[in-house]
Amino acid sequence: MLSLKRQFFDHLAEVTGSVPDLVAAKVAGLPLFLRERYQFGHTRLFGQSFLLALEQGTPESATPGEYEKHADTLRTQAGEPVVLVLAALPSYVRNRMVRCGLPFIVPGSQIFIPTALIDLRERFRQPKPKAGKPLTPAAQCVLLYHLQRQPLENLPLREIAERIGYSPVMLTKVKAELLAAELCEPKRIGRSVALHFTTAGRQLWDAARPLLSSPVAKTVWIQGEKPGHPALQAGLTALSRRTMIADDRLPTFALQSEVFQVNLERGNFRGCPGPEDADLKMEVWAYNPQLFADNGSVDPLSLFLSLHNFPDERVQQQLELLINEFPW
């Protein structure tokens, strides 16, 4: 992957037809967190001098207010205009920064320098998908269990199967999927085969994300009282408990497909054609949401996947916050 500095040069060359000079700079009197977060350089863009602050590594996106404080501190200490060069910028953060007149560049995507150039076309870089098909529900379930419930690193496949409730044969297939996706490597421990994940935490999530799908196999409108255990709050109902988003008119719950079918056959649920006559919405999941149950709700990562195509931008903003605030 190209460094942020290289992407910056390539983007400016594409937009302006020339590559700007960038002279390394030190800014005295900065707090440690700013020195660790940014690299600094002097440059001239569009006939004006600026101090560039290039994010180092892959830090979590800051809030608009935090970026504004970063820029104010840098501008005060450096005594010259500051442009933040950021690897990525969520749309709601970008919109707030534009309203505040805070200069930034997202290489390969957008430029906002009010005194020089504004290029805010939606040219978001998409992560390069890995070869192969999306992970099956079983493989996705194993990965999410590892990320959220208990680490599965260096555990024999048979023990993983027992913890999650899959057969050893199914775990052998899951192992093959995860190896093909380059998310893990096989590791021999005695006479057993274990999984060694190639990355961890947020990096593992980001690497797997192009291969992950919504766990919701189908949605059914239900008449009757709110279901108890093992149903879990899901959808906007679960998101409203974790974020500032409001719940929908009809509460949403989730059940594994097999459990839902049993309840339906026993008459515990009464389906109806649409939301007009329904009392709640039931999501039928391709894997067991109870494996990651979190205080009566579905797990945050599956919740994100279940709503990632939701058309409301406010929901997308809260989902992004949900991922950024997840305790990786």
Type and span of the H or E element at 160: helix 157-164
pTM of the model: 0.60
The residues that bridge with 268 in the sheet, in sequence order, are: none
Cβ neighbours around 49 below 10 Å, total: 10
Domains annotated on the chain, with CATH: 4-119 (3.40.1350), 137-211 (1.10.10.10), 216-324 (no CATH)
pLDDT of 120: 59
Residue with tokens 């579905």: 298
Cβ neighbours around 304 below 10 Å, total: 20
DSSP assignments along 137-152, one per residue: HHHHHHHHHHHHT---
Assign 116 a pLDDT band (cuts: 50, 70, 90).
Answer: low
Pick 109 or 82 by higher pLDDT: 82
Q: Summarize the confidence of residues 211-216 as an average pLDDT.
A: 96
Alpha carbons 110 and 93: distance in angstroms, whole number = 13
Q: Kindly list the strands in the beta sheet with 280-285, ordered across the sheet, starting from the edge strand earlier in the chain.
A: 232-233, 252-256, 280-285, 216-223, 270-272
Residue pLDDT, tens place only, 62-79? 788 889 999 999 999 989
pLDDT at residue 107 tops 60: yes
Pick 107 or 286 by higher pLDDT: 286
Residue pLDDT, tens place only, 223-250? 988 898 899 999 999 999 999 999 999 9
Residue pLDDT, tens place only, 173-183? 999 999 999 99
Tokens of 27: 């800014």
Alpha carbons 202 and 37: distance in angstroms, whole number = 18
pLDDT of 48: 83
